[in-house]
C-alpha cells in the first residue's frame, strides 16, 4: 500500500501519461494537476461521455514480477472484458528520464454493466497494480484512484491537463537492459533472477557457463545473414555453406532449441535475455569454427535487437529510437562478424514465400503477416544498427541469382 501511495502522491504530478489511442498517430499525452484545466477537442474524444474510463499501471520493484504481472493482466483483460470494452496500451513516464516508464492499459467500458469495474477492482488487490478512474465534469476531467474491494482509501482528485508530445516515444526509455542487452552480464542477471519461477533458466545459464573464450584471432571470415522470416536465409546459408566450404551456425544455437518454446511464452524481459544469451553461445562456437573454415551465421545480434526494439516500440516507424541512437550500438563484449548481409524482399513476395512454405509460424511471425507497421519497424531497426552495419541485398531474384550476388560481395571483400 505504501508503494501505491508513493506512486499516487510522490511521483504522479511530474509524470506524463501516454495513451496509444490509435497506433497510426501520436499517443495522447496528459499530465495531472490539482486545478481544473479545460480539455482540448482532441481529448474530448478519449475522455468523452461515451462510457466509463479507467487506467491501470503495474509498478513493482521486482522486475521479473512486474513483467509477469503486466503480461498476466494483458491476458486477463483480453478474456475478462466484454466486446463493449476498448483496451489501449498506456504508459506513464518522466520525459527524457531513462527507465522511468511504467507500462499499463487504458480501458473504455461502453457496456451497461459494471463488469470492467469489478474486474479492475479484483486486479487492484494485487499490491503492484494501481487503477485509476476518470470522470468528466463539464469541460474538465479528473482522475482518482479506484478503491479496491472492501477497502476505503482516502481519495485524491487530480485534473487531466493536456501535455505536449514527448520528444522520444516513451517506450524507448526502458529499452536498455529490458528489451535489448548490451553485455552478457545484464542478460545473465535476468535469467538468474528467474531460476525459482522458470527452472529451465538454470539449464540455459549452465550452457552459457560451459562456453569458453569467445575472442578469436585472424581466422576465416564470419558472415551473418539477416532478414525477416521467409526472405530466404535458410536457402542462401545452405548454398553458401556448400559453395564456400563453410561452417553453418545459427543463433539461437541448436543446444537452446529445447528451451525456445518456453522462453517464447515469457514476457519480453525474460524472452529477450534468453535470445541475447543465445548470441554469446553462438559467438563461442564462431570463435572455434572460424579457426578452421569460413563461418556463415543464420541470424545474430541484428535480429535480436531489431525484433526486440520493434516489439517494444508501439505504433509507427517514427517512434523508433532515432538513427545514431546508442540503442543501436553493438555490444562491446560480443564477437563482431566481418560482414552482415540483410536480405530484403517486397511484402507481397515474402507473403507468397510464407504461403508456399505453409509452415507454422511463431506468434511474432504471424503478427508480422497482419502487421505491416511491425514489419517496417523491424526492417528499419535492422538498417539502423551500426558497427557493423548491414549491407542490403535484394533477395527477390531466383535463389541462384541471390547466391551469385552474395558470392560477388564476399569475393570482393575476401577473395574467397
Ligand atoms: N530467391 C528465392 N526465390 C524464390 N523463392 C525463394 C528464394 N529463396 C527462398 N525461397 C523460398 O522461400 C521460402 C522461404 O525461404 P527460407 O530460405 O526458408 O527463408 P528464411 O530462412 O529466411 O525463413 C522457401 O519455401 C524457399 O524455398
Ligand atoms: N538471433 C536471434 C534469432 C531469433 N530471434 C527471435 O526469434 C524470432 C525469429 O526466429 P525464427 O526462428 O522464426 O526465424 P527463422 O530463422 O525461422 O526465419 C524473432 O521473432 C526474434 O524475436 C532473436 O531474438 N535473436
Asked if the bond preceding 178 is cis, omega within 30° of 0, the reply is no
Of the candidates 252, 254, 265, the residue with the CA atom closest to the CA atom of residue 198: 265
* Mutation pick for ligand 2 pocket among 299, 362, 367, 382 (CB with most ligand atoms within 8 Å): 299
pLDDT tens digits, one per residue of 263-278: 999 999 999 999 999 9
pLDDT for position 214: 58
Taking the C-alpha atoms of residue 149 and residue 151, their distance in angstroms, rounded to an integer, is: 5
pLDDT tens digits, one per residue of 344-361: 999 889 888 988 887 655
Q: Map grid coordinates 517494444 to a residue.
A: 312
- The CB of 399 under 6 Å from ligand 1? The reply is yes
pLDDT for position 372: 82
Contact 287, 238 (CB under 8 A): no
Work out whether strand 391-394 and strand 247-250 pair parallel, antiparallel, or are unpaired: unpaired
Tell me the range of 112-126, 285-299, 346-360 where mean pLDDT is highest: 285-299
The pLDDT-based confidence of 10 (bands split at 50, 70, 90) is very low
- The CB of 227 under 6 Å from ligand 1? The reply is yes
pTM above 0.90, yes or no: yes
In the predicted structure, residue 257 carries a pLDDT above the cut 90: yes
Taking the C-alpha atoms of residue 27 and residue 21, their distance in angstroms, rounded to an integer, is: 6
Residue 399 corresponds to which cell in the numbers above?
535463389
Taking the C-alpha atoms of residue 355 and residue 359, their distance in angstroms, rounded to an integer, is: 8
CA distance to 104, 198, 261, per residue, from 264 (Å): 21, 12, 5
Average pLDDT over residues 164-191: 96
Taking the C-alpha atoms of residue 161 and residue 67, their distance in angstroms, rounded to an integer, is: 29
Average pLDDT over residues 119-134: 90
Nearest residue (CA) to ligand 1, atom 14: 230
Cα(188) to ligand 1 centroid in Å equals: 34
CA distance to 72, 105, 335, per residue, from 210 (Å): 34, 41, 17
CA distance to 213, 286, 389, per residue, from 219 (Å): 14, 10, 21
Contact 119, 76 (CB under 8 A): yes
- The CB of 229 under 6 Å from ligand 2? The reply is yes
Cα(303) to ligand 2 centroid in Å equals: 7
End-to-end CA distance of the chain: 65
Nearest residue (CA) to ligand 2, atom 23: 304
User: Using a CB cutoff of 8 Å and minimum separation of 24, what contacts does 181-184 make?
Assistant: 181/272, 181/273, 181/276, 181/331, 182/329, 182/331, 182/332, 183/331, 183/332, 183/333, 184/208, 184/276, 184/277, 184/280, 184/331, 184/333, 184/334
Nearest residue (CA) to ligand 2, atom 6: 304
pLDDT tens digits, one per residue of 31-84: 999 999 888 887 877 887 778 899 999 988 999 999 999 999 999 999 988 888
Mean pLDDT score of the chain, rounded to an integer?
89
Ramachandran area for residue 99 (φ above 0: left; ψ -120 to 50: alpha; else beta)? left
- Comparing 260 with 38, which gets the higher pLDDT? 260
Three-state SS for 264-286 is: HCCCHHHHHHHHHHHHHHHHHHH
Report helix, strand or coil for 138: coil
Burial class (CB in 10 A: 0-12, 13-18, 19+), 72: middle
Quick count: other Cβ atoms within 10 Å of Cβ 218? 6
Nearest residue (CA) to ligand 2, atom 19: 307
- The CB of 405 under 6 Å from ligand 1? The reply is no
Measured in degrees and rounded to the nearest 5, phi and psi for residue 297 equal: -120, 125
Average pLDDT over residues 371-390: 94
Average pLDDT over residues 205-226: 85
Closest ligand to C-alpha of residue 404 is 1
Q: Taking each helix axis as running N to C, give the angle between helix 399-414 and helix 233-244, from 0 to 180 degrees, rounded to the nearest 10.
A: 50
- The CB of 404 under 6 Å from ligand 1? The reply is no
In the predicted structure, residue 8 carries a pLDDT above the cut 70: no
Cα(252) to ligand 2 centroid in Å equals: 8
The pLDDT-based confidence of 24 (bands split at 50, 70, 90) is confident
- The CB of 181 under 6 Å from ligand 2? The reply is no
Taking the C-alpha atoms of residue 239 and residue 230, their distance in angstroms, rounded to an integer, is: 15
Give, as one character, the DSSP assignment of residue 180.
B
pLDDT for position 204: 98
In the predicted structure, residue 18 carries a pLDDT above the cut 80: yes
Quick count: other Cβ atoms within 10 Å of Cβ 62? 11
Taking the C-alpha atoms of residue 416 and residue 406, their distance in angstroms, rounded to an integer, is: 12
Strands in 1-139 per DSSP E: 16-19, 28-33, 52-58, 85-93, 102-109, 129-137
- The CB of 275 under 6 Å from ligand 2? The reply is yes
pLDDT tens digits, one per residue of 293-314: 999 999 999 999 999 999 999 8
Amino acid at each position: 500500500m505504501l508503494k501505491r501511495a508513493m506512486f499516487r502522491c510522490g511521483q504522479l504530478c511530474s509524470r506524463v501519461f501516454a495513451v496509444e489511442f490509435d497506433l497510426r498517430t501520436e499517443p495522447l499525452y496528459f499530465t495531472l494537476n490539482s486545478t481544473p484545466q479545460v480539455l482540448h477537442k482532441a481529448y474530448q474524444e478519449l475522455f468523452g461521455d461515451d462510457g466509463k474510463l479507467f487506467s491501470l499501471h503495474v509498478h513493482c520493484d521486482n522486475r521479473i514480477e512486474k513483467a509477469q504481472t503486466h503480461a498476466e493482466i494483458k491476458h486477463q483483460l483480453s478474456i475478462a472484458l466484454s466486446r463493449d470494452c476498448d483496451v489501449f496500451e498506456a504508459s506513464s513516464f518522466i520525459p527524457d528520464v531513462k527507465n522511468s516508464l511504467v507500462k499499463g492499459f487504458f480501458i473504455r467500458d461502453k457496456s451497461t454493466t459494471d463488469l470492467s469495474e469489478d474486474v479492475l477492482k479484483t486486479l487492484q488487490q494485487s499490491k503492484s497494480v494501481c487503477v485509476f478512474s476518470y470522470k468528466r465534469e463539464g469541460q474538465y476531467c479528473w482522475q482518482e484512484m479506484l478503491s479496491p474491494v472492501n477497502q476505503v482509501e482516502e481519495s485524491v482528485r487530480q485534473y487531466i491537463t493536456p501535455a505536449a508530445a514527448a520528444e522520444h516515444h516513451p517506450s524507448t526509455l526502458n529499452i536498455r537492459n529490458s528489451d535489448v542487452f548490451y553485455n552478457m552480464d545484464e542478460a545473465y542477471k535476468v535469467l538468474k533472477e528467474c531460476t525459482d519461477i522458470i527452472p529451465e533458466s538454470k539449464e540455459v545459464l549452465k550452457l552459457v557457463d560451459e562456453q569458453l573464450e569467445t575472442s578469436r584471432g585472424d581466422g576465416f571470415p564470419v558472415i551473418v545473414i539477416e532478414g525477416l522470416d521467409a526472405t530466404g536465409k535458410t536457402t542462401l546459408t545452405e548454398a553458401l555453406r556448400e559453395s564456400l566450404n563453410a561452417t553453418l551456425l545459427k543463433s539461437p544455437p541448436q543446444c537452446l532449441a529445447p528451451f525456445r518454446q518456453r522462453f517464447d511464452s515469457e514476457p519480453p524481459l525474460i524472452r529477450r535475455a534468453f535470445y541475447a544469451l543465445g548470441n554469446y553461445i553462438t559467438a563461442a562456437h564462431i570463435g572455434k569454427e572460424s579457426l578452421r573454415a569460413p563461418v556463415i551465421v543464420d541470424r545474430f545480434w541484428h535480429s535480436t535487437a531489431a525484433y526486440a526494439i520493434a516489439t517494444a516500440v508501439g505504433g509507427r516507424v517514427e517512434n523508433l529510437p532515432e538513427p545514431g541512437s546508442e540503442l543501436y550500438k553493438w555490444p562491446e563484449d560480443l564477437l563482431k562478424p566481418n560482414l552482415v548481409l540483410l536480405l530484403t524482399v517486397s511484402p507481397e513476395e515474402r507473403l507468397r514465400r510464407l504461403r508456399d512454405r505453409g509452415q507454422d509460424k511463431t506468434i511474432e511471425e504471424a503478427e508480422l503477416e497482419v502487421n505491416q507497421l511491425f514489419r517496417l519497424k523491424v526492417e528499419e531497426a535492422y538498417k539502423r544498427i551500426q558497427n557493423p552495419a548491414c549491407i542490403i541485398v535484394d533477395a527477390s531474384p531466383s535463389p541462384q541469382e541471390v547466391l551469385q550476388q552474395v558470392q560477388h560481395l564476399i569475393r570482393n571483400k575476401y577473395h574467397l
